Amino acid sequence: MRIMLVLAVSGLLAACGDGRREPATAADAEFQKTLQQRLLDAKPGDVIDIPAGRYHLDRSLSLRVDGVTIRGAGKDKTVLSFKGQTSGAEGLIVNASDFTLENLAIEDTKGDGLKVNEGENIAIRGVRVEWTNGPDTGNGAYGLYPVQTRGVLIEDSVVIGASDAGIYVGQSKDVVVRRNHAERNVAGIEIENCIGADVYDNVATHNTGGILVFNMPDLPQPGHTTRVFKNRILANNTDNFGRKGSAVSAVPAGSGVVIMSNDEVEVFDNEIADNQTANVLIASHYSAGYDSKYKPSAAFDPYPEYIYVHDNRFSGGGDSPDGLELKALKVAMFGLKGRLPDVLWDGYANAKRPQGPQICVQGASGVLDADGPNKNKSPKSDAKPFDCKLDPLPAVAMKQA
């Protein structure tokens, strides 16, 4: 049974309008307390409705009860503003299963917008997370950030201005990210160390990199099996404003799709256009500057393998790559007015893998092997070695999708 809890807070309307820089009012303080109390006392099946309005909060909200829905009146109508937040590393931190967040906005958190740290059946729907000052290194890292979750659906949401990834699903299983809009983040959408992810019908534009599929070392779960399809990945040319050293700070501006160290990735039926470094980048751990004296465990596979890029609609892009090395490479190989081909591969492969890296590309303007292992000495623009096909990957089976 569902119980409707309506927050009855008087004087909220007074806090509406352009009160963005106003200090939190007594009504805001009361709202924050009331909402947090509801979250503490929630029972499985509860729906916590937050009426339209702009609310100022100065500390994180948190939920640890399974089966709770938090619902606003719309992603531009119910706004939780954390501008001037004084405590907490997120806007909302959740450690619970069967959780739904929908129809509201989270603005200007100091750290992440929403973090869900462990839980099953997570639905995030019609949510906007935004840093209203636009791209800024000091913005929070992640907009929507489920990590170590299983059964995650993120749909019809918008993330703008994250200094790392707008939508970042980490170390999770059975992930669907669809119909979202990611704009002016460092990474628009990032799938990291996930097993089974479908990313489709999204728009990723004006980020530094549009859609990323990464594997990072030192983590309990290596990722594989991600499908990126039917997305529009357009003009992701925003200068990288991620803090140096962060996982995405090595992503060149102008990257459409970036696959790093991940295996079994299928990229198809997307519109990928005008990403000025390359429409698709395929790279190993070694190109990201993460390597060091102390190695990750031997179980970590630094190479991207079983990558299938096919049937996309490419246009433009590759004409102004980010970074001196890539610029020099482009000029040397394609001339001042030339452009890098649609797919750029760093060239690192596991020599001990008998079938090779299994990187197959169909329907692109070309593939450039940058010869990273030899410091780009002999790059090759030759699509032939990649003229192969792979079996399609399975769709994610979602209980609730």
Partner 1 sequence: MSGASVVSMRRRRAGMGGSPMGWATLALSALLLAGCARGPAPVVFHAEGYPARLSDWNVVYRDGDRLALNERVVPFDLNTPLFSDYAHKLRTMWLPEGTSARYEPREAFDFPVGTILSKTFFYPVAAGENGVARTDDTSRDHAGEGLDLRNVRMVETRLLVRRQQGWIALAYVWNAAQTEATLERTGASVPLQLVAADGSREPFTYQVPDQNQCAGCHASNNTTREIKPLGPKARHLNKDYAYATGSENQLAHLVELGYLHDVPATGVPRNADWRDAANASLDGRARAYLDINCGHCHNPEGPADTSGLWLDSFDRDPRHLGLCKPPVAAGQGTGGHRFGIVPGQPDESILAYRMDSDDPGVMMPELGRDVVHREGVALVREWIAAMDGDCEQD
What distance in Å separates the CA atoms of residue 349 and residue 359, rounded to the nearest whole number?
10
**CA separation, residue 354 to residues 348, 349, 358 (Å):** 15, 11, 10
Indicate the residue among 109 and 275 with the shorter CB distance to partner 1: 109
Q: Per CB under 8 A, does 110 bind partner 1? A: yes
Segment contacting partner 1 by CB under 8 A, of 56-64, 225-233, 259-267, 268-276: 56-64
Q: Per CB under 8 A, does 133 bind partner 1? A: no
For the CB of residue 139, give the shortest distance to partner 1 in the complex, in Å: 7
**CA separation, residue 45 to residues 3, 42, 83, 96, 161 (Å):** 7, 8, 31, 13, 33
Q: Per CB under 8 A, does 63 bind partner 1? A: yes
Q: Per CB under 8 A, does 33 bind partner 1? A: yes
Q: Per CB under 8 A, does 245 bind partner 1? A: yes
Indicate the residue among 249 and 255 with the shorter CB distance to partner 1: 249
For the CB of residue 317, give the shortest distance to partner 1 in the complex, in Å: 27
CB 251 within 8 A of CB 209: yes
Of 293-352, binders to partner 1 (CB under 8 A) are 293-297
Q: Per CB under 8 A, does 109 bind partner 1? A: yes
- Report helix, strand or coil for 385: helix
Segment contacting partner 1 by CB under 8 A, of 103-111, 230-238, 354-362, 368-376: 103-111
What distance in Å separates the CA atoms of residue 252 and residue 185, rounded to the nearest whole number?
13
Indicate the residue among 31 and 229 with the shorter CB distance to partner 1: 31
Q: Per CB under 8 A, does 40 bind partner 1? A: yes
Q: Per CB under 8 A, does 86 bind partner 1? A: yes
CB 153 within 8 A of CB 398: yes
Of 151-210, binders to partner 1 (CB under 8 A) are 163-164, 168, 170-171
Indicate the residue among 293 and 337 with the shorter CB distance to partner 1: 293
Segment contacting partner 1 by CB under 8 A, of 44-52, 109-117, 336-344, 349-357: 109-117
DSSP, residue by residue, 257-280: EEEES-EEEEEES-EEE--SSEEE
Q: Which residues pair with 148 in a beta bridge?
A: none
**CA separation, residue 311 to residues 200, 270, 317 (Å):** 14, 8, 17
**CA separation, residue 388 to residues 307, 310, 341, 357, 363 (Å):** 10, 10, 17, 12, 11
Length of the chain counted residue by residue: 401
Question: Biggest alpha carbon distance in the chain?
Answer: 69
Q: Per CB under 8 A, does 289 bind partner 1? A: yes
Strands 367-369 and 380-381: antiparallel
Which of 16, 74, 26, 28 is closest to 50 using CA atoms? 74
Segment contacting partner 1 by CB under 8 A, of 30-38, 43-51, 199-207, 320-328: 30-38
CB 103 within 8 A of CB 78: yes
Q: By rule CB under 8 A, what count of residues binds partner 1?
A: 60
Which of 182, 176, 63 is closest to 127 using CA atoms? 182
Segment contacting partner 1 by CB under 8 A, of 70-78, 112-120, 256-264, 381-389: 112-120
**Using CB under 8 A as the criterion, which residues of the chain lie in contact with partner 1 when the complex forms?**
32-33, 36-37, 39-40, 58-60, 62-64, 85-89, 93, 95, 109-112, 117-118, 137-142, 145, 147-148, 163-164, 168, 170-171, 216-220, 242-247, 249, 289-297
